[in-house]
């Protein structure tokens, strides 16, 4: 099937499910993305400065471009939209392409989490099966569930923030777990030296600035760190619990039972709501796998995540919920959003 005909068939299928087609800007404000993702993301962007000195870039992601459009138009109601085009991102892996031909669809501004999540997955399945008459593998996870687990564990707040923030960076996350497992947060010898300095600074002018901070702020931060140490034994145990959780992978119809067994074993109380399992058993005769470690490809996911691939392992559609993205891009309030993207390059053959 030729590329143009393929794209037209996919767009027709999505439109039939009530989505409205929109156009997206190819060039967007780079500062908005940097503020969300940090300077590290700059290495993936094709950026330049406009005549006014503003840094702009080719859109590295269609979802971000869609959310920026939603904010620019000051939309106040639920939108069920779809779009198509190219995303441009610098890559290190030469096997992947710099230009990605994609089709995306989203539901923005609706609070009906379970219904919307199911709708996005259903649309994805209908679209894929319209194009590829083959058995598929559907993998589902939930980032919100992982963060709920973190909040229940005996960890200092700073460690919870680190692990949550870097969950999507798999290699770095693993290094954090090793630190949690083997190294204390503070060096005892360094703490003794700091304590002597702490006593001396308490006698000084608390409003005096040192390295951009008031002495009172420095003392308060040190005091909290000393009061909230991470004991070696607790760190090792907690790391073990996290590793065990991330190994859970099973059919979605047995996921609730398996997760409840895990939580019961470690005496952790979490209400496993239906929203964590947007689909049950089989979908159009395709098996569904629930994986606690899935969802680490994109950092802006906050809830349900899913991936649909063929029997050879080629990713066809990926998506999920990103309720914080519009807020991070400049909205004054959090706006619910869920969507998915089809990688047309995967259908080349």
- Residues 134-145 have pLDDT tens digits of 778 889 999 999
Q: How confident is the model at residue 75 (pLDDT cuts 50, 70, 90)?
A: confident
What does the pLDDT average to over 329-344? 90
pTM for the model = 0.78
Q: Does residue 294 register a pLDDT over 90? A: no
Q: How confident is the model at residue 83 (pLDDT cuts 50, 70, 90)?
A: very high
**Cβ atoms of residues 132 and 310 within 8 Å:** yes
Identify the DSSP state of 93: -
Distance between CA atoms of residues 176 and 292, nearest Å: 18
- Least confident segment among 101-105, 229-233, 275-279: 229-233
Q: Does residue 230 register a pLDDT over 50? A: no
Helix axes 170-182, 232-246, angle to 10 degrees: 150
Instruction: Report which of residues 170 and 261 the model is more confident about.
Output: 261
Instruction: Report which of residues 202 and 39 the model is more confident about.
Output: 202
What does the pLDDT average to over 77-81? 94
What does the pLDDT average to over 29-37? 76
Nearest to 169 by CA among 37, 2, 71, 265: 37
- Least confident segment among 60-74, 98-112, 157-171, 203-217: 203-217
Identify the DSSP state of 19: P
What does the pLDDT average to over 254-283? 88
Average pLDDT of the chain to the nearest whole number: 84
In 91-143, the DSSP E strands lie at: 99-108, 136-142
In 211-267, the DSSP E strands lie at: 213-214, 249-251
Encoding tokens for residue 98? 């710099």
Distance between CA atoms of residues 277 and 256, nearest Å: 8
Identify the DSSP state of 296: -
Encoding tokens for residue 189? 């010898």
54-70 pLDDT tens trace? 899 999 889 989 999 99
Identify the DSSP state of 63: H
Encoding tokens for residue 307? 């991936």
Distance between CA atoms of residues 4 and 1, nearest Å: 8
**Cβ atoms of residues 114 and 274 within 8 Å:** yes
């Amino acid at each position: 099937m030729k590329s143009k005909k393929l794209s037209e068939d996919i767009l027709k299928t999505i439109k039939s499910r009530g989505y409205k087609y929109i156009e997206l800007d190819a060039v967007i404000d780079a500062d908005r993305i940097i503020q969300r993702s940090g300077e590290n993301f700059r290495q993936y962007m094709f950026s330049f400065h406009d005549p006014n000195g503003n840094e702009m870039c080719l859109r590295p992601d269609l979802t971000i471009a869609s959310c920026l459009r939603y904010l620019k138009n000051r939309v106040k109601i639920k939108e069920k939209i779809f779009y198509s085009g190219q995303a441009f991102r610098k890559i290190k892996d030469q096997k992947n392409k710099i230009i990605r031909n994609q089709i995306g669809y989203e539901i923005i501004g609706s609070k009906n989490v379970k219904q919307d999540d199911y709708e996005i997955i259903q649309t994805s399945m209908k679209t894929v099966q319209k194009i590829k008459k083959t058995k598929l593998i559907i993998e589902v996870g939930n980032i919100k569930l992982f963060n709920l687990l973190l909040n229940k564990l005996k960890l200092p707040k700073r460690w919870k923030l680190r692990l949550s923030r870097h969950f999507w960076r798999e290699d770095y996350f693993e290094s954090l777990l090793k630190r949690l497992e083997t190294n204390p947060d503070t060096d005892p010898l360094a703490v003794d030296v700091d304590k002597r300095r702490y006593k001396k600074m308490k006698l000084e002018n608390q409003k005096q600035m040192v390295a951009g901070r008031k002495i009172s702020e420095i003392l308060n931060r040190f005091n909290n760190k000393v009061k909230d140490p991470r004991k070696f034994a607790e760190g090792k145990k907690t790391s073990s619990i996290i590793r065990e959780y991330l190994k859970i992978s099973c059919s979605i119809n047995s996921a609730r039972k398996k997760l409840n067994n895990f939580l019961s074993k470690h005496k952790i109380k979490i209400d496993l709501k239906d929203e964590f399992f947007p689909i049950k058993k089989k979908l159009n005769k395709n098996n569904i796998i629930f994986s606690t470690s899935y969802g680490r490809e994109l950092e802006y996911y906050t809830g349900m995540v899913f991936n649909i691939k063929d029997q050879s392992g080629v990713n066809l559609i990926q998506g999920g919920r990103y309720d914080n993205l519009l807020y991070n891009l400049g909205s004054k309030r959090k706006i619910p959003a869920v969507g998915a993207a089809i990688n047309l390059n995967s259908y080349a053959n």
